[in-house]
Amino acid sequence: MTPAYQRIADDIATQIRSGRIAAGSRLPSVRELAAQHRVSVATAIGALRTLEFRELAEARPRSGYFARLPPASAPEPPISRPPARSRSVRISDVVAQMFSAGAPRTRSPAPLGAALPDPELLPTQALQRSTARLARTAPRLLSGYGSLEGSPRLRRWIAARYLRSSTAIDASELLITNGGMEALQLALRAACEPGDTVAVESPCYYGFLQIIEALNLKACEIPTHPRTGLSVEVLERVLTSPTGRAIKACLLCPTHSNPLGATMPDTDKAALVALCRQHKVTLIEDDLYGELQYGERRPLPLRHFDPEGEVMLCSSFSKTLAPGARIGFIAAGAHTERVRALKFAASVSTAPLMQEAVAELLEGSLYDRHLRRLRAACEQQVQQAMRYVAESFPDGTRVAQPSGGFLLWVQLPEGANTLDLYRRAAAEGLEFAPGPLFSSRGGFADSLRLNCGHRMTPRIEAAFRRLGELAQERS
């Protein structure tokens, strides 16, 4: 349930953005707000402070809080236009190019590259305590492999969690995996044979492309809008073309995607599920960022629109809880037996101790409280990063408008080369992910992905601004 202070802040924010509360006008005082909404003074203070860090209100000494409009944002990138054809993937070549001029410093002054949240935003100490206690009291968790499917306790929790989003997943179809990447690899191996084609977003997460390359599959990039995600209309045209006959799976991140932060509308999600069923294309959903929405309502997963259990849903706790725990999962549905056999051949099982420690933490009230704080921090950090980009990057820079998560996709003016920018930035210890990593065809040379998962300290702000200066030098 959303806290009262956040509901009040959301209501006032809507009025400010719509103009019903004019920028510059005085907001109700703490006591007025508490009386209006019948809440405590502390709750009213929380609502006003939430508006302040969202940059929708400013506090003036001895005068109270005043409404302000959020900073003007840069225009967003256009929908991508990749050629509608299958191609072999050589993403390893792009990785080699990144490091051809020397690897970045071991200790980066600002972690703008890897998609990870700030360790201080994660409940690491709570998980550490659970792990230590279980290691002492349940040594059996260290003396055996554990079950192939994984902890029943953890699988029940995951099934119940999705039920809160009106999505029915049976605990018996869930397998716990060694991180989300193993889940995705199992799904693709269950759906495809070497030489088959996989439809992906454009741009898409480079980890997808690495798996596709490793499995000797081909990729077909589908146009993708920076706010509404993959174009179902174009995918339909491709599936009815000669190229479409080779497509056996569609792999995408439909909610707060990596790298765009896009979320497909529910109507598009339902249409995508129906389309893939019609053409006998296996739909594989990466729901890694599903819990990191900025608004009150968690977006529905594709699996919600799939009563037949054809969609394979993959995710992990790497972005919300503990990247190092390497606890992922796959809801394999109709593909469960095939995935189970592949999991046994690949790794037999996933570390029982970490599964039980994660389950113990999830079952309490801590996780939901933690998620509320993490979502608010991600939204604030992304907004701050957008401001730094607007102030420091070249004129004509475009920025995606993510609906959740902590990633920011930036398109520099025409002619920019972010692989070249990466080499120059790496020489100063600055990291980011250049655009060609996110394309099977080496596209998006003018774009880059920035990680906004870390709190905006002066050190990180300086790194954003320095990266903007380097981009300016070649613009």
What mean pLDDT is predicted for residues 420-425?
94
Class of the CATH-defined domain 123-366:
alpha beta
Determine the pLDDT at residue 93. Answer: 80
What mean pLDDT is predicted for residues 277-286?
98
What mean pLDDT is predicted for residues 10-16?
83
For residue 215 the two structure tokens come to 């499995």
Q: Map out the domains of the chain as residue ranges.
A: 4-67, 88-120+368-473, 123-366
pLDDT(20) > 50: yes
Whole-model pTM: value is 0.86
* pLDDT tens-place string over residues 171-210: 999 999 999 999 999 999 999 999 999 999 999 999 999 9
Determine the pLDDT at residue 471. Answer: 97
pLDDT(101) > 50: no
Determine the pLDDT at residue 475. Answer: 56
How far, in whole angstroms, is CA 437 from its chain's centroid? 16
Most confident of 46-50, 53-57, 62-66, 183-187: 183-187
CATH homologous superfamily of 88-120+368-473 equals Aspartate Aminotransferase, domain 1 (3.90.1150.10)
460 contacts 454 by C-beta, under 8 angstroms: yes
Q: Which CATH architecture has domain 4-67?
A: Orthogonal Bundle (1.10)
